[in-house]
């Protein structure tokens, strides 16, 4: 492969935002567009199957939660992170595999509960962070990103 030069100029400015989301190629362009237009031009990104579920060891695994906690500590201290965006999506394969016996509505409720726990966990450990919670779903062929703060109160 020949060397590739990115068309974007390098910036020494540090990110102030961390986005925690799922890793699923079909959604990548939609996530990137949403983040760039509504969140930040240069966020740190933590993408993993299940997305924000990784924060709670009971929703994911103790190893995954430990890795996330170490990454969060590093990013908050060295990248000057002041906000975190937790983004989950409808029909998440991680949840279907882990809770396959649940109905679609019960899976969605479980995801919203896990998002609430993740938000609480973040506030307990990093009270100065501003935490945003988003739920993505496909409607009429478009990916909608919905702020679910009201549902978590």
Query: CA–CA separation, 81 vs 55, rounded Å?
Result: 17
CB 85 within 8 A of CB 20: yes
Q: Using one digit for the tens of pLDDT, what is the confidence trace for 57-72?
A: 988 889 999 999 999 9
Tell me the pLDDT of the chain averaged across its residues. Answer: 92
Domains and CATH numbers, the chain: 17-152 (3.40.1050.10)
Residue 153 predicted with pLDDT over 60? no
Can you give the pTM of this predicted structure? 0.91
Query: CA–CA separation, 150 vs 108, rounded Å?
Result: 15
Contacts of the segment 146-149: beta carbons below 8 A, 24+ positions apart: 148/112, 148/115
Q: Using one digit for the tens of pLDDT, what is the confidence trace for 108-146?
A: 999 999 999 999 999 999 999 999 999 999 999 999 999
Q: Using one digit for the tens of pLDDT, what is the confidence trace for 85-109?
A: 999 999 999 999 999 889 999 999 9
pLDDT at 135: 96
pLDDT band for position 54 (50/70/90)? very high
pLDDT at 150: 63
Q: And the tokens for 101?
A: 């016996």
Helices (H), the chain: 28-34, 62-79, 93-98, 104-125, 149-152
């Amino acid at each position: 492969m020949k060397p590739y030069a990115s068309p974007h100029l390098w910036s020494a400015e540090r990110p102030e935002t961390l986005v925690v989301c799922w890793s699923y190629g079909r959604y990548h362009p939609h996530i990137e567009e949403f983040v760039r237009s509504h969140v930040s031009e240069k966020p740190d990104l933590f993408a993993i199957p299940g997305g924000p579920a990784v924060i709670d060891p009971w929703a994911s695994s103790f190893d995954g939660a430990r890795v996330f906690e170490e990454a969060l500590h590093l990013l908050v201290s060295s990248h000057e992170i002041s906000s975190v965006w937790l983004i989950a999506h409808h029909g998440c394969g991680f949840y279907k595999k882990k809770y396959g016996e649940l109905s679609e509505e019960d899976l969605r409720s479980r995801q919203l509960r896990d998002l609430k726990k993740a938000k609480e966990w973040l506030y307990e450990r990093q009270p100065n962070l501003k935490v945003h919670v988003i739920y993505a779903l496909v409607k009429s062929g478009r990916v909608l990103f919905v702020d679910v703060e009201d549902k978590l109160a």
